[in-house]
Chains A and B, each alone.
Chain A
Amino acid sequence: MPHLSSESLTRAREIVDLYPQRRSALIPLCHLAQEQDGWLRPEAIEEIAGLLDVTPAEVLGTASFYEMFKLEPAGRYVISVCTNVACMLAGAYDLLAHAEERLGVRAGGTTPDGRFTIEDVECVAHCDHAPCVQVNSRYFGPLDAGGFDRLVDSLERGELEGDVPPHGTLVRVRRTKGLMA
């Protein structure tokens, strides 16, 4: 029984065909698997290896280099608090401390209900909105403690479903043109 759904597999084959060499699709396929499962499961790594004619160790060895690939289950919403210089000068460490208190987990952790993961991340290039966060790679900021609470409230009530897809869904626009016949 394949782990990747037939839709994921169709998209995976389209992506592989875009590249002159199969292995170039490794990172896009890891994103695709993470979109399906919310994290990068070992079963998905096995199948990606098969699609690319490389070993699972090569897929894992590559994926583990990159911050965005979660090799353990992550929350539905991964909240990445930027603490780099521009955000730090605007109070990012206070914001991070507040985020940890509000959600009851330390940076790197996931709430027991699996809804939220908090991360302490490097600059996400939104410095004119410092201090900022990303939720599943979507930008929010500037945020003070109250703004953070309102953001979490909105996420909990499902009010941001349209803006913030579940963790792992990176690009909602599918490549439709210029595909191999």
Chain B
Amino acid sequence: MTPDGGPPRILTSRVDLAGSYTLKAFLETGGYEGLRKALSMKPDEVAQEVDEASLLGRGGAGFPAGRKWSMLRPADTTYLVVNGDESEPCTFKDHLLLETDPHQLVEGVAIAAYAIGVEQAFIFIRGEMALGLERVTQAVNEAYEYGALGRGILGSGFNLDVVVHPGAGAYICGEETGLLESLEGKRGFPRIKPPYFPAAIGLYGEPTVVNNVETLSNMSWIVRNGGAAFAALGKGRSTGTRLFALSGRVKRPGVYEVEMAKTTFRDLIYGQEFGGGISGGKELKAFIPGGASAPWFGADQVDMPLDQDEVGAAGTMLGSGSVVVMDETVCTVKVAWRITRFFWRESCGQCTPCREGGGWLEKILWRIENGAGREEDVDMLADICDNISPGLHWPPEQTTICPLGPSIPSPIASVMRMFEDEIRLHVKEGACPLA
């Protein structure tokens, strides 16, 4: 617990510390104690603690980390790959962890590798994060020097080698099979499923666990305090704390660590210790609850708790943990256009509905926003969205190899559901009414 009785800072305990990224600062604040403890346990016992923590993956899909580990197909060669390709628009929480606490991640990687019996790990970091790449590379060098990586880690019989691998600018590499292709030195084309999980066939065709940066940054705390202590935080399946990246029209955008399920979107947006309310005292119009791929919530949903299952049942997702706030002056058509433009640019091009549909939708939204919209455009948007993801329900139907395709309709269907009048007003007036 923190001094004020709030939930513990599991992930961000060092972010305000001077030189938090150095081995010295890390060791002075309990660094590598979790790894030491893990190495004194049997690998199965470590995995058991993580299973008990009920830690849901923090990358976007929210799959239980313990279950992902248990699916790893036994083989002579297996790999652990860290997904640090954070590229979902308005998501910047891994960015914080990579720059401010790289050793916490390295420790988490070593604990996870020990638990699942892997001797080779790769930390894939988004190429644009130069400082994060430098900090993690330095941390890996220091960890080898200290004996937390390499041969006979911390005096045990456990060996682990870690490679820090830079990306080169492609959102699609955040999809785990696209990431593996990229790590194999190819275009980041997501692989055709099945197999659904790299745990069966992953890097170089070998069984591979892919975990997100934030997911693994929890490991040391879980081992030191026990899975039960982690599971005692939050509610139901939404256990522990989680990082939420808050941006858009709020007074204090930033990354906040909050206890899951016990905190609401209202707390996050308006709480004085968090977003501090909407800039300029304006009214809330809508917000994106979990990254650009997520359907939006209207202002009437602001009391929803940050609970993966509740948000899922309400037709959207916590996704990548990014919350974007739109106030009453924001044009929702323009926001939907910009997100669609993003998906269109980042489509890998393998599947027709995504490659073509994304481009058509972007052009239609652009002309509506810029005063050249036509009466039939609203129906056309709906029809193209339905072709990409039939039925437009949640979770979405998929006509494409990966979830990028069905993500495209999310913002558009949201605007049509909540603000169809606003679209029609653009067409009627031949201009953006909010410009």
Evaluate contact between B87 and A125: CB separation under 8 angstroms.
Answer: yes
CB-based contact A84/B165 at 8 Å: no
A residues near B163, Cβ cutoff 8 Å: 18-19
Expressed in whole angstroms, the minimum distance between the Cβ of B169 and any Cβ of chain A is 3
> Within the assembled complex, what's the spacing in Å between the Cα atoms of A176 and B149?
13
Any chain A CB within 8 A of the CB of B225? no
Asked, given contacts A128-B253, A175-B141, A177-B150, whether A137 binds B185 with beta carbons under 8 Å apart, the answer is no
A178 in contact with B338 (CB, 8 Å): no
A66 touches B131 (CB 8 A): no
B254 contacts chain A at the CB level, 8 A cutoff: yes
Cα distance A88–B170 in the bound complex, in angstroms: 20
**Cβ-defined contact, A84 with B90, below 8 A:** yes
Residues from chain A with Cβ under 8 Å of B182 in the complex: 27
Interchain CB contact under 8 A, B165 and A68: no
Instruction: Say yes or no: A68-B92 contact (C-beta < 8 A), given A127-B245, A137-B130, A170-B127.
Output: no
Q: Is the CB of A31 within 8 A of B168?
A: yes
Interface digits, A108-139 against B, CB 8 Å rule (1 contact, 0 not)?
00000000000000111111101000101111
Knowing A67-B169, A83-B338, A134-B128 are in contact, say whether A127-B253 is a contact too (CB < 8 A): yes
Across the interface, which residues of A come within 8 angstroms of B168, CB to CB? 27, 30-31, 63, 66-69
Count how many pairs of residues, one from A and one from B, have CB atoms less than 8 Å apart in the complex.
Answer: 167
Q: Are A178 and B149 in contact (CB under 8 A)?
A: yes
Assess whether B133 is interfacial by the CB under 8 Å rule: yes
Known pairs A85-B335, A175-B140; A125 contacts B166 (CB<8 A): no
Complex contacts, B242 vs chain A, CB 8 Å: none
Which residues of B in the span 188-222 have a Cβ within 8 Å of any Cβ on A? 188, 204
Residues of A within 8 Å of B87, CB to CB, are 122-123, 125
Asked whether any CB of chain B lies closer than 8 Å to the CB of A20, the reply is: yes
Q: Is the beta-carbon distance between B141 and A21 smaller than 8 angstroms?
A: no
- 7 closest A-B pairs by CB: A67-B169, A177-B144, A26-B185, A66-B168, A23-B185, A127-B247, A68-B169
